[in-house]
């Protein structure tokens, strides 16, 4: 059902948050990729990226054993004592209690996707129930998906009301709102959706690019549009929202480029896992590999790192 | 939706751009292969100046001597013109496809030695290595490639008419883009079948003389291109030489006028690419962050040593506060320092003299009551540096809004209506470039037709391409460089 005033609503929202020029954004982020990070700065960035990782497994074939392995790795990614634990493990609701049993009491949080991830295409009452269930099982953080159908039809109040209801269902757990940028398609839409979400979030909640289940996920471009929205929302309201790019960040080099974007857009206060996360599964081993390379000067074979999918 | 929170918001939250994650130095280490001493390049050979005199070229980043450059006197300029005249007959008669081969060779040899040239350019002129590496050198090669493609298609450059070369061309280029300006001047002249006597700028001769080595390697016939080095007197000798069929000059309006006075009454053709005081106009519907990026790119690119720099920002009053706040945040993360560091955004000011000019005009801005702002930044102890600077509260009659500063200094003015923006933008003796930032296509079309500027960029700034003609209105000069139009300026059409 298309609300009668959807066009006016879109025009109003776009006018309020301001438009984004695609060519300009992509030129801006290309500059981050030319930064040259060496030596101590590189090690600092790699360790920081480890501490910001939401180590993720979201597959139908996930087993309790795989969750346990993931959690052990999250707590102690590498034998090198400099390497911190990751920020969180990110799993499906059915795996929350298993994960909580292992990482509970440590610094590592349990994050659970909910709200009929990744499509969100089920009754809202069921989506809310899923959130409550995951929180009851011990999830410290909930990763929800927005109602893209409502957003694209211009029914912004519905999008926002649903997020607000999930915030309430989260209780003390932090919320990460997945915009699923590849389904929003334009940077204008991404900026508008960011503001819709931030308008009902609490300080310390996050907005997040993607589910990782579509073809295009986190890019420097959509990361930039979202962190600029966070910056503008913060300077206007004083409310600091976090950011989580997810999906497609597989290499240490990519993660450093994202961190440079954060440093130069949001500044030092966001260079912490309280405000910036990477949703990734294979990124962690590349970070560890690069850290070993910085220490020893040589790259190690994949089998030196636990849970490595690659072989040789 | 944000209203609820605004009520109990803290006063003006600000961002912290500190040193939590300080980058380690990342110097470019390729060998620039700069010789201790460079002679003149006349008749295909390096020859000593008749006077026997040399002057020093220094690295503005640390004030150390880089090389000795020959000082050409009138006799040397005569010799260069004689060599060019001697080469003209066979060069102009050569089939275009043969001339094209030489230009292709020059372009490829330049690409082969791109890193070496980028480092040399940065050491000689002070620009950040990322710019010489990603812009100057590749763009110089692109100009040779583009014009190489024209060399065998000259029959089609002026449909229904014949394009013939003019003869010997005298060219004088500036210090802001030494190699690129050289390519802009050389490539179309050669493609058309002309021969050239060129004088690089006094402070930045090194890459021209390194290119002379490439010309030798490419087997370019002796005398087709000659480089005479020196200061203003040498330039005047090149521009005023009776052997020139045409002169092409890029530099200050003041010197351009002197050349025009000198040549008035002769039949010599001229192309003048002179100063500018471009307006970068931001409307309230513009994508603000991208406009801010365009403003930064417009005025801080190459330390603002750009004739088409967007040195006047005209911003629509409703968004002025927002644009300035975001611009300041952006300026706080600009990295000023060692030009050879790959992370440097603003390098060294080209010369002590230019630094003094910038300081003088900035002091005038402060004295006249404009508000100056600079981000906190550490400048190196030695060398010529100036922090990125902006002025607010500027009016049309402030000196910083009228005179070309040619440095990293932005003057910000506001406007309320489209007519006012056009009036202010055109209220300058210059007319080289302008920028328009708006989401509204029809407004872009109106602005482009009413702004008196040779180039108008829409939702971008400082964007160049060999196929796109570049040149000025009013006291910014005449004639075009690049594209078919630039080529025709080196031809006799009949």
Q: Which CATH homologous superfamily contains domain A6-296?
A: Aldolase class I (3.20.20.70)
pLDDT number for residue A302: 87
Chain A to chain B Cβ contacts (< 8 Å): 112
Which residue positions in chain A have pLDDT lower than 50?
Answer: 1-2
Average pLDDT, chain B: 96
Nearest Cβ partner for A41 among B17, B21, B290 = B21
B134 contacts on A by Cβ (under 8 Å):
34
- Tell whether the model's pLDDT for residue B2 goes beyond 60: no
- Tell whether the model's pLDDT for residue B6 goes beyond 90: no
Nearest Cβ partner for B333 among A23, A40, A264 = A264
CA torsion, points A48, A50, A53, A57, in degrees to nearest 10? 170
Domain ranges of chain B: 37-274+474-493, 279-458
Running DSSP on this structure, what letter comes out for residue B490? T
Contact A19 B1 (CB under 8 A): no
Reading across the β-sheet that carries A174-178, which strands appear in turn?
A242-244, A206-208, A174-178, A141-145, A109-113, A88-91, A53-56, A278-280
Which tokens go with A41?
A: 């700065």
Nearest Cβ partner for A236 among B2, B18, B333 = B2
CATH annotation of B279-458 = 3.40.309.10
A206 touches chain B (CB under 8 A): no
Running DSSP on this structure, what letter comes out for residue A63? -
B219 touches chain A (CB under 8 A): no
- Crossing angle between the packed helical segments B96-112 and B137-151, to the nearest 10 degrees: 160
Neighbours of B53 (CB within 10 A): 13
Contact B20 A233 (CB under 8 A): no
B284 touches chain A (CB under 8 A): no
Render pLDDT for B382-406 as a digit per residue (tens, 0 to 9).
999 999 999 999 999 999 999 999 9
- Phi-psi category of residue A82: left, alpha or beta, with phi > 0 → left and psi -120 to 50 → alpha: alpha
**Mean pLDDT of the region B20-47:** 97
A264 touches chain B (CB under 8 A): yes
pLDDT number for residue A6: 74
Residue B439: closest CA among chain A residues belongs to which residue? A19
Residue A197: closest CA among chain B residues belongs to which residue? B1
Contact A38 B23 (CB under 8 A): yes
Better-scored residue on pLDDT, A7 or B96: B96
Running DSSP on this structure, what letter comes out for residue A241? -
Contact B342 A36 (CB under 8 A): yes
**Mean pLDDT of the region B111-130:** 98
pLDDT number for residue B174: 98
pLDDT number for residue A309: 67
CB B138 within 8 A of CB B242: no
Cis peptide before A118 (omega within 30 of 0): yes
A177 contacts on B by Cβ (under 8 Å):
none
Tokens 């939702």 correspond to B459
What topology does CATH give the domain B37-274+474-493?
Aldehyde Dehydrogenase; Chain A, domain 1 (3.40.605)
CB B88 within 8 A of CB B167: yes
- Tell whether the model's pLDDT for residue B124 goes beyond 50: yes
B195 to chain A, closest Cα gap in Å:
39
Q: Which of residues 268-287 of A touch B (CB under 8 A)?
A: 268-269, 271
B463 touches chain A (CB under 8 A): no
A27 contacts on B by Cβ (under 8 Å):
290, 293, 460
A236 contacts on B by Cβ (under 8 Å):
2, 6, 9
- CA–CA dist A282, A86 (Å, integer): 13
**Mean pLDDT of the region B96-101:** 97
A11 touches chain B (CB under 8 A): no
- Tell whether the model's pLDDT for residue B201 goes beyond 90: yes
Which tokens go with A211?
A: 């589910």
Nearest Cβ partner for B1 among A42, A199, A271 = A199
CA torsion, points B459, B128, B271, B298, in degrees to nearest 10? 20
Taking the whole predicted model, whether its pTM rises above 0.90 is answered as: yes
B460 touches chain A (CB under 8 A): yes
Residue B130: closest CA among chain A residues belongs to which residue? A34
Q: Which active-site residues of B does the annotation give?
A: 273, 307
pLDDT number for residue B79: 98
B181 to chain A, closest Cα gap in Å:
24
From A280-284, B12-16, B225-229, B473-477, the region with the lowest mean pLDDT = B12-16
Running DSSP on this structure, what letter comes out for residue B134? I
**Mean pLDDT of the region B250-257:** 96
Nearest Cβ partner for B287 among A19, A45, A195 = A19
pLDDT number for residue A312: 57
Q: What is the ipTM of this complex?
A: 0.94
| Closest of A301, A82, A42, A166 to residue B24, by C-alpha | A42
Q: Which active-site residues of A does the annotation give?
A: 143, 208, 244
DSSP state string for A137-179 = TT-SEEEEE--HHHHHTT-HHHHHHHHHHHHHHHTTSEEEEE-
CA distances from residue B353 to B68, B86, B259, B357 in whole angstroms, order as listed: 19, 38, 22, 6
pLDDT > 90 in chain B, percent:
97
Running DSSP on this structure, what letter comes out for residue B439? S
Contact A259 B12 (CB under 8 A): no
Cα angle B346, B352, B353; round to 5: 110
- Tell whether the model's pLDDT for residue B177 goes beyond 90: yes
A37 contacts on B by Cβ (under 8 Å):
23-24, 26
Question: How does residue B10 score in pLDDT terms, banded at 50, 70 and 90?
Answer: low
DSSP state string for B143-200 = HHHHHHHHHT-GGGTSTTS-EEE-SEEEEE--SSSHHHHHHHHHHHHHHHT-EEEEE-
Neighbours of B386 (CB within 10 A): 22
CB B20 within 8 A of CB A267: no
Most B-contacting residue of A238, A266, A270 (CB-CB within 10 A), to test interface: A238
CA distances from residue B411 to A239, A242, A311, B300, B365 in whole angstroms, order as listed: 33, 35, 58, 12, 9
Render pLDDT for B138-155 as a digit per residue (tens, 0 to 9).
999 999 999 999 999 999
Backbone angles phi, psi at B181, to 5 degrees: -65, -35
Element (H, E) at B139: helix B137-151
| Closest of A166, A51, A40, A186 to residue A113, by C-alpha | A166
- Tell whether the model's pLDDT for residue B1 goes beyond 60: no
pLDDT number for residue A1: 47
Question: How does residue B289 score in pLDDT terms, banded at 50, 70 and 90?
Answer: very high
B29 contacts on A by Cβ (under 8 Å):
none
A258 touches chain B (CB under 8 A): no
B289 contacts on A by Cβ (under 8 Å):
20, 24-25, 28, 228
Question: How does residue B12 score in pLDDT terms, banded at 50, 70 and 90?
Answer: confident
pLDDT number for residue A4: 58
- CA–CA dist B292, B297 (Å, integer): 8
Residue A228: closest CA among chain B residues belongs to which residue? B289
Which tokens go with B387?
A: 């922090």
- CA–CA dist B469, B131 (Å, integer): 22
DSSP E strands in B228-274: the ranges are 246-250, 269-273
């Amino acid at each position: 059902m298309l609300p009668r005033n959807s066009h006016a609503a879109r025009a109003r929202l776009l006018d309020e948050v301001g438009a984004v020029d695609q060519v300009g954004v992509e030129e801006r982020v290309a500059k981050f990729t030319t930064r040259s990070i060496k030596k101590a700065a590189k090690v600092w960035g790699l360790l920081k990226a480890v501490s910001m990782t939401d180590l993720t497994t979201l597959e139908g074939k996930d087993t309790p054993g795989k969750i346990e392995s993931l959690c052990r790795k999250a707590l102690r990614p590498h034998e090198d004592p400099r390497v911190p634990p990751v920020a969180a493990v990110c799993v499906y609701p059915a795996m929350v209690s298993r994960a909580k049993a292992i990482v509970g009491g440590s610094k590592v949080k349990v994050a659970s996707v909910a709200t009929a991830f990744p499509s969100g295409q089920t009754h809202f009452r069921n989506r809310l129930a899923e959130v409550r269930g995951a929180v009851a099982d011990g999830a410290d953080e909930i990763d929800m998906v927005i109602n893209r159908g409502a957003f694209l039809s211009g029914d912004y109040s519905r999008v926002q009301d649903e997020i607000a209801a999930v915030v309430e269902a989260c209780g003390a757990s932090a919320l990460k709102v997945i915009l699923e940028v590849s389904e929003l398609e334009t940077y204008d839409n991404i900026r508008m959706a960011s503001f819709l979400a931030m308008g009902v979030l609490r300080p310390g909640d996050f907005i997040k690019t993607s589910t990782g289940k579509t073809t295009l996920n986190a890019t420097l471009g959509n990361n930039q549009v979202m962190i600029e929205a966070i910056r503008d929302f913060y300077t206007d309201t004083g409310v600091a929202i976090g950011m989580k790019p997810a999906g497609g960040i597989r290499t240490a080099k990519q993660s450093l480029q994202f961190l440079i974007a954060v440093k130069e857009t949001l500044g030092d206060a966001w260079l912490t896992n309280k405000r910036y996360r990477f949703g990734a599964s294979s990124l962690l081993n590349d970070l560890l590999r690069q850290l070993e390379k910085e220490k020893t000067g040589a790259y190690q074979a994949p089998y030196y790192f636990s849970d490595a999918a690659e072989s040789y | 939706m944000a209203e609820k929170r605004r009520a109990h918001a803290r006063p003006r939250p600000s961002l912290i751009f500190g040193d939590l994650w300080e980058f380690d130095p990342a110097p470019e280490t390729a060998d620039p292969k700069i010789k201790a001493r460079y002679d003149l390049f006349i008749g295909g050979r390096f020859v000593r100046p008749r006077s026997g005199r040399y002057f020093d070229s220094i690295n503005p980043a640390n004030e150390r001597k880089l090389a000795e450059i020959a000082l050409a006197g009138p006799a040397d300029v005569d010799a260069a013109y004689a060599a060019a005249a001697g080469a003209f007959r066979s060069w102009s008669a050569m089939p275009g496809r043969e001339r094209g081969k030489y230009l292709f060779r020059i372009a490829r040899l330049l690409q082969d030695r791109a890193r070496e040239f980028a480092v040399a350019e940065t050491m000689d002129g002070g620009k950040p290595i990322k710019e010489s590496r990603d812009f100057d050198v590749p763009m110089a090669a692109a100009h040779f490639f583009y014009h190489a493609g024209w060399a065998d298609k000259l029959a089609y450059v002026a449909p229904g008419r014949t394009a013939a070369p003019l003869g010997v061309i005298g060219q004088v280029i500036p210090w802001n883009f030494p190699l690129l300006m050289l390519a802009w001047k050389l490539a179309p002249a050669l493609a058309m079948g002309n021969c050239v006597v060129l004088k690089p700028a006094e402070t930045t001769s090194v890459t021209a003389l390194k290119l002379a080595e490439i010309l030798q390697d490419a087997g370019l016939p002796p005398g087709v291109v000659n480089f005479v080095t020196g200061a203003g007197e040498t330039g005047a000798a090149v521009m005023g030489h009776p052997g020139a069929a045409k002169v092409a000059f890029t530099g200050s309006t003041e010197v351009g006028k002197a050349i025009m006075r000198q040549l008035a009454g002769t039949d010599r053709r001229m192309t003048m690419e002179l100063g500018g005081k471009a307006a970068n106009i931001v409307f309230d519907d513009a994508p603000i962050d991208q406009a801010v990026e365009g403003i930064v790119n417009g005025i801080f690119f190459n330390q603002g040593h750009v004739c088409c720099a967007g040195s006047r920002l005209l911003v629509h009053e409703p968004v002025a506060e927002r644009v300035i706040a975001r611009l300041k945040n952006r300026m706080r993360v600009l990295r000023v320092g060692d030009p050879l560091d790959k992370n440097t955004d603003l390098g060294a000011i080209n010369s002590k003299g230019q630094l003094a000019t910038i300081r003088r005009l900035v002091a005038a801005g402060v004295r006249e009551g404009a508000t100056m702002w600079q981000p906190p930044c550490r400048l190196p102890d030695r060398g010529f540096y100036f922090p990125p600077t902006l002025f607010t509260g500027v009016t049309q009659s402030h000196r910083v809004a009228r005179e070309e500063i040619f440095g990293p200094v932005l003057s910000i003015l506001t406007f309320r209506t489209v007519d006012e923006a056009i009036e202010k933008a055109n209220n300058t003796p210059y007319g080289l470039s302008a920028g328009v930032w708006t989401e509204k296509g029809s407004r872009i079309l109106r602005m482009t037709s009413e702004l008196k500027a040779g180039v108008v960029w829409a939702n971008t700034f400082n964007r160049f391409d060999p196929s796109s003609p570049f040149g000025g209105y009013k006291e910014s000069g005449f004639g075009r460089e690049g594209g078919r139009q630039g080529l025709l300026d080196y031809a006799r059409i009949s």
